[in-house]
Amino acid sequence: MSKSRMRWAAGLTLAAGLVASPAQAAKPMTAHVKSGGTYDAIVADYGTCNKAFVDPTSRPPNVPLPQTSVAAQAGASLAVGMMQGYAKEKARQAYVDDCMGALGYSKIDLTPAETTGLKQAKGDVGKKAWFDAFLAQDFSVRIAQVQALTPPLPPSEPQPYGVGGVRLDPASLKAATGLAQADGVNNIVLTATAAHLRTATLKTPMDLKLGMGRLVAPAGAVFHLIDYGPGATPVAPRGAAWCGPISLKSMLMKRVGATCFVNVPGGYEMSPSGNLSTWLAGPEGVVRGSLGSIDGAIDLAPSDTDLIGPMTVALRVVGGSETTIALQATAARDGEAVIIWWGLAPINDAGRAVFPLWGHRLTVTRTGESYASVLTADGDGHGLLELPDQGMTLRRP
């Protein structure tokens, strides 16, 4: 290893949290480790994460965007506001933690003996020797102890008639009578009643630190699952997240709304849902990296029943082109509505577009500026989330 690379690697001790600053002297030193990890691999991965903070396009698959990049891309005013409270170096270190976690590392506390040994290591050669000996250990028990501090959120499995956070009642599906128009008023082609995909209660009060703010929710708060499937990127595995009525408090603002969380190595990442309705989050709730990782536990008890209550769902014509028809799905409850999906289906030679609805099919025929819909019970098991051209954002096609 060259001297320049050894000096770069030695910098890992500070930026990866292996040397505490005076203001943090009471906190234990920490290190990123994983089973089978080597010194050279850590140096390379650490370099990758630092580069990704400066140049997000260079990040490996499954590594979240830096917070600043997500804020710029999504126009997330909340993320921008929170970033104003960060020093650049603190933001960089926070992102490196996120990135290393996405690459399979866990952040563990050093023992007093390890801390002493690191402090006594002299020069590049001494620090590399210390790292080689340190990384030769079996970290499985210590990694398991860290992971136990942040229990994983309940898993999600595909459900027929599931779209985002709702599960349609197949018996309630009803095609609209008459003709619809893509005019934003008389544009409904199908209606249904729906329950939440899955709900759960928070076992213990939540009061977690997020940068210079806090995430607060009482015990018993009801969370709901949203799942947009593995095709929704960049998201957590299966595109699933758990969302709850969270109060986000900071020096700059206070926000109460459906805030969503996904599992990541060693903890969770969060994203505001983009709406203030606490009963249902939209697809933006599964976008990773919006506000980065949080420390603490989110312990949920899943329920076999819908703890929030039913909704009505409508599929609406919102436009398209000469070759496609675009639909948008909204869920409504107590006078509020949330956009949960939009997608395109190709028009065949007969002027018809077919939208798969699991055990059903919705055929929409366009004649001029009017649309007629027919519902048939001859589906092939595929659903809206399996259309090749469908959207995971709130933008209209």
Report the candidate in 226, 255, 261, 278 with the shortest Cα–Cα distance to residue 392. Answer: 226
| For residues 294-323, average pLDDT | 91
Convert the pLDDT of each residue in 77-104 to its tens digit.
444 444 444 456 777 777 788 788 878 8
**Three state DSSP letters for 25-91:** CCCCCEEEECCCCCHHHHHHHHHHHHHHHHCHHHCCCCCCCCHHHHHHHHCCHHHHHHHCCCCHHHH
Predicted pLDDT at 267: 74
Average the pLDDT over each of 60-74, 138-152, 209-223 and give the range with the smallest value: 60-74
Predicted pLDDT at 97: 81
Convert the pLDDT of each residue in 330-358 to its tens digit.
999 999 999 899 889 999 988 899 999 99
Reduced to 3 states (helix: H, G, I; strand: E, B; else coil), residue 396 is: coil
Report the alpha-carbon angle 257-245-238, nearest 5: 90
Instruction: Report the distance separating Cα 287 and Cα 360, nearest Å.
Output: 30
Q: Measured in Å, how far apart are the chain's first and last C-alpha atoms?
A: 53
Instruction: Enter the DSSP assignment of 128.
Output: H
